[in-house]
Homo-oligomer: A and B are copies of this chain.
Amino acid sequence: MKLTSKGRYAVMALVDLARFDNISPVSLRDISLRQGISLDYLEQIFSKLRKNQIVQSVRGTQGGYVLNKKAKEIKLTNIFDAVDEKVKTVQCKKESKKGCNGKLTKCVTHNLWDDLDKHINNFFEQKSLEDLVKDNSEKRI
């Protein structure tokens, strides 16, 4: 099990954005430089974040992105959902009455993955962007 860079970058970029977007829109170029993430890749990520109403874009010179909601209202769940960073556990065909892998019974671990899903998503639902920004600024000297 692993977290991919896409999810990690999305969070890093949004924390960056949350810090600076009250002054003026933040350009991806700036985020790219500060966070060390490829500009082209950031564009892909922000395209998804925008489609999911997490950020708003401001076009033209001096343009960039701003958060679409308050940092407090953006949970990690929302971010991960937006960039398709999902907790995939059970690959069983849920549609089929026969259950997992065409077997007659549910695979013995079916419920386990459901529980795990809940457990992880619970964590993601607790944490907001604001929490992360605070965590980070506290540790600054």
Chain A residues in the interface with B (C-beta under 8 A): 1-5, 7-8, 11-12, 15-16, 35-36, 80, 85-89, 91, 101-103, 107-109, 111-113, 115-116, 119-120, 123, 127, 132, 135-136
- The answer to whether A116 touches B108, judged by C-beta atoms less than 8 angstroms apart, is no
- The answer to whether A132 touches B108, judged by C-beta atoms less than 8 angstroms apart, is yes
**DSSP majority for the A interface?**
helix
Bound Cα distance from A85 to B89, whole angstroms: 12
**Copies of chain A in the complex:** 2
Bound Cα distance from A85 to B15, whole angstroms: 29
Residues of B within 8 A of A132 (CB): 108-109, 112
CB distance from A38 to the nearest CB of B (A): 12
